[in-house]
Structures are given as structure tokens and as C-alpha cells.
């Protein structure tokens, strides 16, 4: 895993974070309402957090780093349902097969 602070273009990764996280969770966490795309989200968040450059331009790079750090630390909730086959095994009451971890 690469630290968000060391990324050249952290804003590049925000689109993927927004696609995985629930919109409602992001609204609660950041207090940002109704964004159009990832750049709009970062712009609104930068203004809300006061992350502005000279001339009042939003600092998208710093704001993206903040979001990525939250993502890496688990501040933004995210989960994926197990594959359908595993869920069917659990519903059938049969044992779920878990691969063993082999340490060398």
C-alpha cells in the first residue's frame, strides 16, 4: 500500500473511492451534498474544509489526500457481499469450506 501523501496525483483515485462508497455515507462523513463527479466532490469538500489556494481556488490535491487517508484508515465504510455460491452454502446449512493458511 502506498501512503496517500506520496502520490503524485491523489485526485486520480477519488473516482474509484466514490464508486465503491455509498453516497449517503459520504454525505454524513463530509457534509457534502449533491456532487456531479469526482472533481465536483473534491471542489465542494475543499471549500467546506477551507482547503483553498491563493485566489480562493480549491486545493484538490490536498483534499484528495485527506479522502484517501480516510479510506485507508477505514473511516469510509465499505464492504462487498460474498459470492453467491458461498451464500447458498450457508443457507443450505452445509459447512463453508475455508482454505487453510500454510506458513513456511
Question: Using one digit for the tens of pLDDT, what is the confidence trace for 14-72?
Answer: 999 999 999 999 999 999 999 999 999 999 999 999 999 999 999 999 999 999 999 99
DSSP state of 58: B
Q: pTM of the entire structure? A: 0.75
Q: What is the C-alpha to C-alpha distance for residues 32 and 20, in angstroms, rounded to an integer?
A: 17
Query: Has domain 4-92 been given CATH number 1.10.1580?
Result: yes
Beta-ladder partners of 67: none
H helix runs in the chain, sequence order:
14-20, 23-30, 38-49, 60-73, 84-92
Among candidates 55, 27, 29, 60, which has minimal Cα distance to 42?
60
SS3 call for 1:
coil
The domain spans of the chain are 4-92
pLDDT for the residue 78: 87
Amino acid at each position: 500500500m502506498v501512503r496517500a501523501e506520496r502520490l503524485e496525483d491523489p485526485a486520480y483515485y477519488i473516482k474509484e473511492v466514490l464508486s465503491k462508497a455509498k453516497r449517503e455515507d459520504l454525505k454524513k462523513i463530509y457534509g457534502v451534498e449533491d456532487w456531479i463527479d469526482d472533481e465536483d466532490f473534491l471542489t465542494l469538500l475543499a471549500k467546506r474544509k477551507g482547503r483553498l489556494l491563493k485566489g480562493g481556488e480549491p486545493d484538490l490535491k490536498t483534499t484528495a489526500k485527506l479522502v484517501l487517508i480516510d479510506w485507508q484508515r477505514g473511516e469510509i465504510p465499505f464492504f462487498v457481499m460474498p459470492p453467491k455460491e458461498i451464500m447458498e452454502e450457508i443457507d443450505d446449512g452445509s459447512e463453508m469450506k475455508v482454505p487453510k493458511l500454510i506458513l513456511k
